[in-house]
Structure 1
Amino acid sequence: MNHPAELIVHNAHVHTVDDRRPRAEAVAVRDGRIVWVGDGDGWRDLAGPATEVVDARGRLLVPGIVDSHNHVRLGSDSACVQLAGAGDLPGIGRRIADWLRRNPGADWIEAEAFDYTAIPGGRMPTAADLDPYTGGRPAFVLSYDVHTAWLNTAALRRLGITADTRELAFGTVQKDPATGEPTGFLTDFAVRGLSRDGHRALRAAGVPWAHPDRQYGRLAASLDLAARYGITTVVEPQNSLDDLALYERAIAEGRLRSRLVAALFHPRGTTDAELAEFAAAARRHDGERFRVGPLKLYIDDVVEPHTAALLEPYAGHHSHRGETFYPAEEFAEVLARLDAAGFQAFVHATGDRGIRTVLDAVEHARRVNGPRDARHQVVHVECLDPADVPRFAELGVVACMQPRHCSPDIAGPGKDWAEAVGEHRWSKAWPMRSLRDAGAVLAFSSDWNVAEMDPLVGLYTAVTRQGLAGGEAWMPDETVTLAAALRGYTLGSAHANFLEDRLGSITPGKLGDLVLFSDDLFALEPKALLDARADLTVVGGEVVHRAG
């Protein structure tokens, strides 16, 4: 006779995300895998003296959340000035002043999460904006999306940035068109500053944020949050080979309680020798708890500072429509080469021209290599031309999307995203329902720390397209049902990462990854989703989080 289960959850509303048995009342996990899903008291036959038996009291039990795009390595840095919610320059100044009172001996002022809307007149920030609040100390400030960096005059001097500097290992220097002097604003930080060379350059320049111990602190804190929020698998989308040591440390110290898939960054110019190193790392790290393998690429940047690639010019501009990081033909050849070598690509694309360039490249790869189950991903899919909606399903491309990004209090009317694309393009914004109806696989995620990690925030936004305070929905025709949103956070994300045979649904034989919420989410009004929580997070039958 088989030995008893180690965990049984009964008297639950079990939403299995398994079309063969959508609902159940109880689940049993033995040896790390689901062994029984059923109704009534059948679970009693699997219980033994050492079995943990949880009476769910009607709460919702779902598969563990698979967060398909979560920057746990970037995290939120407690050593930085926190600028989220600072709505103007004086507000930023007050946050910095408070931080300086607590850290009078700091060599650098470091801050994160500034919002572009805090800068007056819809322009980008300058060193002159920052100087009155920072004195002679260098300041290094990251935007909320970590795609741009903002430096004061002292930091420009410390980093040796002059009128003759154009490209840095960690960003592209913006210049004043009248004087040619650096403004203090760096674009392309996500592409350059988060790369292996970018981090090394920042460390060499003495920027504390880039030190490995600071990185590990962010990682460890983010991993704790993931377990707390019911996230049983994290997909960390952008790492260098140097960063893998951080995860090895987390494993050794028992901090990696969720499973983790790490994608490696493939900047433009990546060599065959580097690809061989990537493949070797994937072979070395191929376990159930930690896996390395996909490659992260960029085709464009972000809409707010007008660096995403659009088909037509930005609102208010006659010709500027952003740039792609590769010419279309070059990118198609790069993707075909990776596809032929068996790599899966995660491609950041936000603008409609950027997304089309990626889809064209996948089509080219299939034409030259033959079709295969590659599951290449377009990540973000913020502004999608309707003509390209059906191509996701046709080409087997996954739409990796972050529902919270489409909230009107982040991107909607009056915000930089909506104003940059113009109202005539709002119907292209995050078309989740259109993609799902066209047969595309949706993989949902948080994009922490660009947005909140809590999947309940993403679920709320996916089903309402409202701000956290409620109010008018933005583009409500593109909402999805709660069941569809949960599938995006579970089976959709598992499929996106070749994990659907072991994760993503509550099915006998799959790994025992579960989350028990504080309520039956299906019985709640949408706004009440924000008041719910994960009461129990289970990874492989082991409880890794229990609400107090």
Structure 2
Amino acid sequence: MTQADIIIENARILTMDPAHPRAEAIAISGKTILALGSNTDIAALAGPRTRRVDACGRTVLPGLVEGHMHLFGGAFGLRYLQLGGVKTLDALRSKLHRYAAENPNATLLICKATDYSLLVSTEAYPRQMLDEVLSERPVLCFASDHHTAWANTIALQRAGLLHGREMPEGHEVMMGPDGTATGELRELSAIDPVMALRNSGGREVLGMFGIEPEVAPTDAQREDDMRVMKEGLAYCASFGFTSLHNMDGNRYQLDLLHTLEERGELICRIQVPFHLTPEKSLSTLEDASWMHENYQSELLRSGRVKMFMDGVVDSGTAVLVDEYSDAPGWRGGPLHSAERFSAAVTEADRRGLQMSVHAIGDGAVRRVLDGYEAARDANGARDSRHRIEHIELLHPDDLHRFKELGVVASMQPPHVPGAMDFPFDPWRAKVGEARWPHAFPVRALANAGVPIVFASDWPVSDINPMRGVMAAMTRQRWTEACPDNRLSLEEALYGYTAGGAYAAFDETRLGRLKPGMQADIVVMDHDLEALEVNEIGKTRAALTLCAGAITWEA
């Protein structure tokens, strides 16, 4: 009889395996699950060297999957000033002055998670409001979604933006009636000139846009970059994550992760996509194939192509089918033409690559679905599991197309306005009440049999998956016309476990607890089923195992 290396007993195990949904104990041998069953049955597999973990009646789950995140940016961003919960200029002044004093040599003070309502006034521009807080040093405040930022006057002057600058479609330096910039910057091209003021070397967005370092990093830089990666991996493991679907990356980032893997320091499974930006030609998909062919290990993989179709509703850069409620005639500008996008998807699909496309507005979602349909028509149907990321608004005419095209819905429960940290407005005001019933349509997609994976989009929102689970369970209807989008505990957990595994073609080895599957397991610090729903977000991992190895222990 094979003896277990680790036994977790006295547990409330939710296996996510419909055939055997619950167990009391689980045995692990090497990297795989040996058996599940009662405490008595599993105790018989213990030997003199077996480590026995008493779960004390707490919940045990398959290792959690973070289905959409930005590892390096999230980890590096922990070093910036976090403005979550800051609602007044006085509170901002207190935090920013302290942060400035702690970072006297920073040439740009960068703040994260700024509330869209913080710098709104009818009497002053956002830059002037920031000037009231701190005027003598450049300041840049990012919104949580990273699609909008606000800069003070000195930052705009030094970046050459105070009097505006021509931008690509969908990117904008917002201008006031007096011909000067208000301080609000929408999308990457508008934000980049201010970010260029920083003296960190730009490494905080390493791989974010799929661009390789212009200058080969020194050995010291490589080691520091890997240190940031390790900090991020450890942070993820502390929440119970064993698999990460990264949404940015390049060859350099893959190389760093590969080095960590060779050193035995890659403690989470991670996927890194090829990023196809509007500036790149379709011939660069050859690089995507190279990444796919050369990175296919147990812990580190490529094989996806990431694209953006639009921006975000809050800044008016999401693409809608009908005009914005607060901007007559404006529907947003797509980042790819229909012809360019269909050609890109068709070529990626021909190469056997999976797609992950950011599409927030219903117009962007429709264009992505059109591209997926064009690829199927050109190449023939296959199990591609192409994904759409976010789907904050879905036109009801397009719901049936997800199932018909085999599309995976990648959604973020924390992003729903009012569900967790994001305010109701400006999102709801821009979309308009008539379209609220079609917002973040998780129940409609689930009822239609569409595979769903959940995520945080860290660092856009808090990575804590149990806060995401709580947000999914407690979501409120905005009006009587809105459907009930609340999920049960098991439905929400499924999106962070088996749903994530399916989205990555990993359902035969991950996402469920059953004999022969990989021993990716998390022991929570509470019995989730015994808690009031509003307490679930306070829980965290007590023990995390990836491939049978303990990666986090509280």
Q: TM-score, normalised by structure 2?
A: 0.89
Alpha-carbon displacement from aligned partner over 1:340-363 (angstroms, at most 9, x marks no partner): 121111000111111111111111
Instruction: Decide which of 487, 507, 510 is 1:480's aligned counterpart.
Output: 487
Counterpart contact for 2:81–2:111, Cα < 8 Å: yes
- Distance change (3 Å), C-alpha of 1:12 and 1:288: same
State the Cα distance separating 1:123 from its structure 2 match.
11
Q: 1:260 is paired with a residue of what secondary structure? A: strand
One of 218, 222, 231 as aligned partner of 2:232 = 222
In the alignment, structure 1 residue 11 sits paired with structure 2 residue 10 = yes
Q: Say which is worse superposed, 202-211 or 240-249, in terms of deviation.
A: 202-211
**Contact 1:432 1:478 (C-alpha < 8 Å) held by counterparts:** yes
Could you say what secondary structure the match of 2:292 adopts?
A: helix
Q: Report whether the alignment pairs 1:210 with 2:203.
A: yes
Map of 2:525 onto structure 1: 518
1:221: Cα distance to partner? 2.9
**Is the Cα contact below 8 Å between 2:413 and 2:419 reproduced in 1?**
no
Q: Which residue of 2 aligns with 1:356?
A: 366
Between 62-71 and 313-322, report the one with greater CA deviation.
313-322
Task: Out of 59-68 and 279-288, give the one that drifted further.
Answer: 279-288
Structure 1 residues 205 and 83: CA distance shift in structure 2, 3 A: closer
Identity of aligned pairs, percent?
Answer: 34
Relative distance call for 1:35 and 1:122 in structure 2 (3 A) is farther
Q: Distance in 2 between matches of 1:369 and 1:333?
A: 12
- Measured after TM superposition, the shift of residue 427 of structure 1 is 0.9
Q: Is residue 465–residue 476 contact of structure 1 (8 Å, CA) maintained in 2? A: no
What CA distance in whole angstroms lies between the structure 2 residues aligned with 1:287 and 1:123? 57
Distance 1:354 1:372, change over 3 A: same
In structure 2, relative to structure 1, the CA distance for the partners of 1:509 and 1:192 (3 Å cut) is: farther
Question: What secondary structure, in the 3-state scheme, does the structure 2 residue paired with 1:185 have?
Answer: strand
Residue range with higher mean Cα deviation, 139-148 or 156-165 = 156-165
Structure 1 residue aligned with 2:32:
33
Aligned to 2:500: 493
Q: Deviations 1:253-309 (Å, cap 9, x if unpaired)?
A: 655311111122110142344222222122222111111221110111101111101
Q: How far off is 1:388 after superposition?
A: 1.8
Q: Counterpart in 1 of 2:305?
A: 295
The match for 1:507 is 514
* SS of alignment partner, residue 112 of structure 1: strand
Stretch moving more, 209-218 or 24-33:
209-218
Q: State the 4+ residue runs in structure 1 displaced beyond 4 angstroms.
A: 121-125, 201-205, 211-218, 252-255, 409-414, 471-476
Q: After superposition, what is the alpha-carbon deviation per residue over 1:138-167, rounded to whole angstroms, capped at 9, x for unaligned?
A: 223222111123222322333344646323
Q: CA deviation at 1:498?
A: 1.0
Structure 2 vs 1, CA of residues 306 and 218 (structure 1 numbering), >3 Å: closer, same or farther? farther
Partner of 1:45: 44
Aligned to 2:210: none
1:124-139 → structure 2 map (5 Å cutoff): 126-139=126-139
Determine if contact 1:383/1:430 at 8 Å carries over to the other structure. yes
User: 5 Å matches for 1:102-121?
Assistant: 102-121=102-121
Q: 1:187-243 deviations in whole A, cap 9, x for unaligned?
A: 222x897xxxx79x9569745553566865654332222111111111111223333
- 2:101 corresponds in structure 1 to 101
In structure 2, what is the Cα distance between the partners aligned to 1:167 and 1:149?
A: 15
Instruction: Mark the CA change 1:168 to 1:220 in structure 2 (over 3 Å): closer, same or farther.
Output: farther
Range with bigger deviation, 145-154 or 282-291: 145-154
8 Å Cα contact 2:269/2:298 also seen in 1: yes
Does the 8 A contact of 1:464 with 1:473 survive in 2?
no
1:167-198 CA distance string (max 9 Å, x none):
389x9341426454444332222x897xxxx7
Query: What secondary structure, in the 3-state scheme, does the structure 1 residue paired with 2:248 have?
Result: strand
Residues 309-356 of structure 1, C-alpha deviation per residue, up to 9 Å, x if partnerless? 111111232211212112223322221121112111100011111111
Aligned residues: 536
Distance (whole Å) between structure 2 residues aligned to residue 134 and residue 215 of structure 1: 31
Q: Considering only aligned residues, what root-mean-square deviation do their CA atoms show, in Å?
A: 3.0
Equivalent position amino acid for 2:309 in 1: I
Contact map agreement 1:68 1:235 (CA 8 A) in 2: yes
* SS of 1:93 mapped into structure 2: helix
1:541 paired with 2:540, answer no
Distance 1:410 1:41, change over 3 A: closer
**C-alpha distance in 2, partners of 1:6/1:125?**
62
Deviations along 1:72-125, whole A, 9 cap, x unmatched?
211152432222111133432332122123333433222111111112249996
Secondary structure of the residue aligned to 1:97 is helix
Q: Structure 1 residues 244, 342: CA separation in 2 closer, same or farther (over 3 Å shift)?
A: same
Aligned partner of 2:99: which letter?
Answer: W
Aligned to 2:328: 318
Q: What amino acid maps onto 1:210 in structure 2?
A: R
Distance in 2 between residues matched to 1:51 and 1:474, nearest whole Å: 56
Partners of 2:331 and 2:338 in 1: how far apart?
Answer: 15
CA shift, 1:20, in A, is 1.7
Partner in structure 1 of residue 212 of structure 2: none
CA distance in 1, matches of 2:401, 2:122: 35
Aligned counterparts of 1:231 and 1:466: Cα–Cα separation in 2: 27
Matches of 1:125 and 1:75 in 2, distance apart? 29
